[in-house]
């Protein structure tokens, strides 16, 4: 088999996608088809498949390409006809698959002009004859621009066909997903209260864009048994719209990766909304019209940053940019994990990435700098309190000598940012720049006290933060 490795940009300077567009100008369908085979050979090689062109695997029938990835073989047929590929094309590749010596053979048909509806339905009904995966023009352009996404796309298509009996094809409308109820996600155990102890759905603050979030606890992935440092894992996911982000949260929750204390921040050009809880996050997303009505000049997109801890140590951030539009399309979405090391069992993360079309080539990378940066100001900084974070007590009243104990404790504070504005840079060089525009901070309280016993004064004693590839997780620490 061929082993050469083509470059995504040839010496002539034409990328795979540019070559594909150039083929569309050829008047001869035969020439287009022949050159499409050569283009697909380069594509599969760059996606790290082993490829052979015109192999003898299906003799006496001719096969355009055979490619192998791991232990899986793909019989590939390229078509650039004047119309959609029909059932005859499907029957032809089934014959080639039947003649192959290996049982682990998957058919792939690439048709630039798409597929007839009858052929797609026939594939769905007769999928027991062996899986055949379809790529149309839109998906072909996608993988030509990013060859590393080919492996994951084929895996998703195979699972959709075998598990759900659906033909995964961009030209075929995706089945509508039922809008998930917020009640299916856990709510926050802590509560946000204003200065008068009235319950708040979130804390609204003046601010801007910056992809940061205030957190009550920040796991240090470097703090583990043995030497070494923590690792990070980043992936782009494709939720399509706001409901897709909700589906992603459900996926994380189904794997046990949603705690009772996730924190989040929704950012607009002039305001931020800080909150707690997965359920509350979804409610805030879906109430976007109400939030935007409070702004004089809302930007056409809003950014979200979501933070939660991982079982066994570590944390992850979810960042996304969502259009302020009734369809709520998502322009980008990133998941970023920081973990104490590479897990022995990778299946949960692998399943999550496959479910949401994450990049096929994602890597665990060791952190080259300390995971958590800590700083103490020269002296405690006075704080102006505008709200509280309250949590229920876990004490057993029967074990308290007096027979009475507070049921709610203040575990955090909402305060005015003492480093707000340009002058803050000279005040503290260690204060994270992303938070300079935030009017308010949500601080962890080092010494808890009963909710009905507020203190006369509070001060900022320290802060710590960690950076993922897209977000900043900040933990300011106050005390009284």
**144 and 236: one domain?**
no
Torsion of CA 89, 144, 10, 2, to 10 degrees: -50
Q: Is residue 416 part of a domain?
A: no
Q: Is residue 446 part of a domain?
A: no
**244 and 343: one domain?**
yes
**143 and 246: one domain?**
no
Q: Is residue 407 part of a domain?
A: no
Separation in Å, CA 350 to CA 9, 36, 155, 229, 248 = 30, 32, 12, 22, 14
pTM over 0.85: no
Confidence of residue 125 (pLDDT cuts 50, 70, 90): confident
pLDDT at 104 over 60: yes
- Alpha carbon distance 153, 50 (integer Å): 17
Nearest CA-CA partner of 5 in 47, 45, 56: 45
**238 and 324: one domain?**
yes
| Farthest-apart Cα atoms in the chain, separation | 92
User: Which of 133, 164, 195 is where one domain is finished?
Assistant: 164
Separation in Å, CA 368 to CA 228, 315, 317 = 10, 17, 19
pLDDT at 177 over 70: no
pLDDT at 72 over 60: yes
- Alpha carbon distance 385, 442 (integer Å): 10
Question: Please, which residues have CB within 8 angstroms of residue 150's CB and are 6 or more apart in sequence?
Answer: 43, 44, 47, 49, 143, 360
pLDDT at 55 over 60: no
Q: Is residue 263 part of a domain?
A: yes
β-strands 381-383, 458-467 pairing = antiparallel
Question: Please, which residues have CB within 8 angstroms of residue 189's CB and are 6 or more apart in sequence?
Answer: 260, 261, 277, 391, 392
Segment 243-253 shows an average pLDDT of: 89
**113 and 235: one domain?**
no
**121 and 234: one domain?**
no
**160 and 23: one domain?**
yes
Q: Is residue 387 part of a domain?
A: no
Write down the pLDDT at residue 4.
38
Segment 366-389 shows an average pLDDT of: 93
User: Which of 361, 380, 410 is where one domain is finished?
Assistant: 361
Question: Please, which residues have CB within 8 angstroms of residue 346's CB and are 6 or more apart in sequence?
Answer: none
Looking at the structure of the chain, the number of domains it has is: 2
Q: Is residue 445 part of a domain?
A: no
Write down the pLDDT at residue 263.
96
Confidence of residue 361 (pLDDT cuts 50, 70, 90): low
Q: Which domain holds residue 83?
A: 16-164
**160 and 20: one domain?**
yes
**232 and 159: one domain?**
no
Write down the pLDDT at residue 215.
96
Q: What percent of the chain has pLDDT over 70?
A: 86
Helix (H, G, I), strand (E, B) or coil at 373: strand
Nearest CA-CA partner of 265 in 192, 195, 331, 325: 192
- Alpha carbon distance 202, 211 (integer Å): 17
User: Which of 164, 180, 198 is where one domain is finished?
Assistant: 164
Render pLDDT for 213-233 as a digit per residue (tens, 0 to 9): 999 999 999 987 777 889 999
Q: Is residue 201 part of a domain?
A: no
State whether the Cα torsion 100-105-111-115 is positive or negative: positive
CATH label of the domain that carries residue 140: 3.40.1350.10
- Alpha carbon distance 20, 40 (integer Å): 10
- Higher-confidence residue of 247 and 399: namely 247
**240 and 322: one domain?**
yes
Q: Is residue 327 part of a domain?
A: yes
Mean pLDDT value across the chain: 83
| Encoded tokens for 83 | 């119309």
Confidence of residue 190 (pLDDT cuts 50, 70, 90): very high
DSSP characters for 31-92? Answer: HHHHHHHHHHHHHHHHTT-EEEES-STTTTS--SEEEEETTEEEEEEEE--SS-B-HHHHHH
pLDDT at 328 over 70: yes
**243 and 320: one domain?**
yes
β-strands 301-309, 315-323 pairing = antiparallel
**126 and 48: one domain?**
yes
pLDDT at 171 over 80: no
Render pLDDT for 426-462 as a digit per residue (tens, 0 to 9): 455 678 888 888 999 999 999 999 999 999 999 999 9
- Alpha carbon distance 277, 260 (integer Å): 7
């Amino acid at each position: 088999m061929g082993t050469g490795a083509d470059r995504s940009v040839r010496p002539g300077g034409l990328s795979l996608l540019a070559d594909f567009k150039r083929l569309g100008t050829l008047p001869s369908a035969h020439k287009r088809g022949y050159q499409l085979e050569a283009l697909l050979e380069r594509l599969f090689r760059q996606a790290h498949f082993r490829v052979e062109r015109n192999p003898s695997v299906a003799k006496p029938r001719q096969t355009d390409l055979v490619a192998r990835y791991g232990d899986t073989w793909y019989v590939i047929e390229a078509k650039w006809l004047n119309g959609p590929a029909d059932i005859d094309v499907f029957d032809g590749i089934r014959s080639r698959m039947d003649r192959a010596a290996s049982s682990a053979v998957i058919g792939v048909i690439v048709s630039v002009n798409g597929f007839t509806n009858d052929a797609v339905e026939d594939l769905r009904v007769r999928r027991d004859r062996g899986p055949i995966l379809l790529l149309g023009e839109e998906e072909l352009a996608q993988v030509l621009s990013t060859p590393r996404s080919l492996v994951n796309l084929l895996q998703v298509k195979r699972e959709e066909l075998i598990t759900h009996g659906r033909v995964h094809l961009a030209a075929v409308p995706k089945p509508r997903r039922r809008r998930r109820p917020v009640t299916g996600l856990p709510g926050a155990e802590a509560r946000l209260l204003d200065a008068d102890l009235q319950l708040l759905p979130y804390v609204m603050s003046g601010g801007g864009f910056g992809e940061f979030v205030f957190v009550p606890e920040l796991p240090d992935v470097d703090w583990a048994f043995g030497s070494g440092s923590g690792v990070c894992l980043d992936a782009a996911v494709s939720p399509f719209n706001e409901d897709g982000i909700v589906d992603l949260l459900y996926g994380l929750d189904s794997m046990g990766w949603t705690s009772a204390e996730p924190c989040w921040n929704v950012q607009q050009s002039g305001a931020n909304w800080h909150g707690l809880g997965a359920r509350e996050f979804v409610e805030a997303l879906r109430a976007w019209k109400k939030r935007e009505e409070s702004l004089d000049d809302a930007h056409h997109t809003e950014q979200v940053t979501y933070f939660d801890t991982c079982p066994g140590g570590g944390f992850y951030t979810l960042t996304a940019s969502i259009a302020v539009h009734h369809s709520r399309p998502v322009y980008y979405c990133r998941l970023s994990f920081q973990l104490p090391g590479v897990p022995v069992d990778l299946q949960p993360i692998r399943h999550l990435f496959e479910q949401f079309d994450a990049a096929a080539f994602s890597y665990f990378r060791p952190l080259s700098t300390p995971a958590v940066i800590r700083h103490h100001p020269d002296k405690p900084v006075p704080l102006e309190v505008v709200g509280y974070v309250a949590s229920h007590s876990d004490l057993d009243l029967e074990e308290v000598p007096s027979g009475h104990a507070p049921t709610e404790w203040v575990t955090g504070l909402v305060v005015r940012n003492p480093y707000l504005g340009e002058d803050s840079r000279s005040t503290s060089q260690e204060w994270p720049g992303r938070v300079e525009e935030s009017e308010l901070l949500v601080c962890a309280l080092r010494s808890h006290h009963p909710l009905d016993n507020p203190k006369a004064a509070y001060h900022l004693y320290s802060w710590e933060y960690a950076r993922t590839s897209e977000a900043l997780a900040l933990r300011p620490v106050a005390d009284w």
